[in-house]
Amino acid sequence: MVVGGLAAAGVVGAGIWLKRQVIQQAFLAPEPDSQVPLVLPGRVAVERLYGGGDARTKVPLVLVLHGVGADETQLAPYVLSSRPMRLVFLRGGLASGNGFQWFRARYKDNAAAFITNVSRTASEIVTVLDQIATQRLYTERIVVGYSQGAHVAWWLATSGRVDRVVAMSGALPASFKPPRPSRQVRIEAVHGMRDPVVPYSAGQATARTFQAAGYPVRLTTLRLAGHGLSSMGDALAPALDRALTNNGTGLATGASSLRAR
């Protein structure tokens, strides 16, 4: 499923909210008959191509993983970009409230059980990436994850099967020791200092652990932000842009201009 680039974000407040609702609804619109459907057995996904083209267009492949209780439309308003890329918004396979999730465990649960859940889900995501690769051309693989999706994104950085990772409001337990990378995998991490779900200290520790293991990591700290997309979401597109342009490497912690709302 492919359409042209999405509209740029509008003014603050109600205008932004309305535009985001329109963008999310646009995901439900039928796709052009000329587009070859992306077939992912047992999965629900929405594909969007920025910059024009079709299934034969070779651009970065960006797989987007939502948070708990959401679906494939959740992050659509926050990855607006004019850069050529193919986005695949994937839906978690487990029901959760009015939405879906990737696994049952939570970050504050038993660390071993949590890692088992994350690694199993990440292995399933690698299979999805391989399925996409048989149907689409791409220049590199990038995984974007928020909250529970970010836990998975962090783990995928160790798989040797992705080139870039963007992880927002996610972390891995201190007991997880990433192996040294077999290839350079750049990580763009974003975390709010007021996060009550996944503590900022956990995200910071994960970033430092990965950097110590040899991964180029940039951690963007949002001093007044919490866990929700109302305070975090506007930092996602810039992080993705940095991943696409290979800029901003280094464990950076400067205060962001974004503010919690």
Residues whose CB is less than 8 angstroms from the CB of residue 207 and which lie 6 or more positions away in sequence, other chains included = 187, 189, 217, 219, 251
pLDDT by position in tens, the chain (length 261) = 322 222 222 333 444 445 455 555 555 444 444 468 899 999 999 999 988 888 888 999 999 999 999 999 999 999 988 889 999 999 999 999 999 999 999 999 899 999 999 999 999 999 999 999 999 999 999 999 999 999 999 999 999 999 999 999 999 999 999 999 988 999 999 999 999 999 999 999 999 999 999 999 999 999 999 999 999 999 999 999 999 986 444 454 444 433 333
pTM of the shown model: 0.85
| Domain boundaries along the sequence of the chain | 14-245
Strand duo 94-96 + 99-101: pairing = antiparallel
| Residue 98 structure tokens | 């009015």
Q: Tokens 């205060």 identify what position? A: 255
Domain 14-245 bears CATH identifier 3.40.50.1820: yes
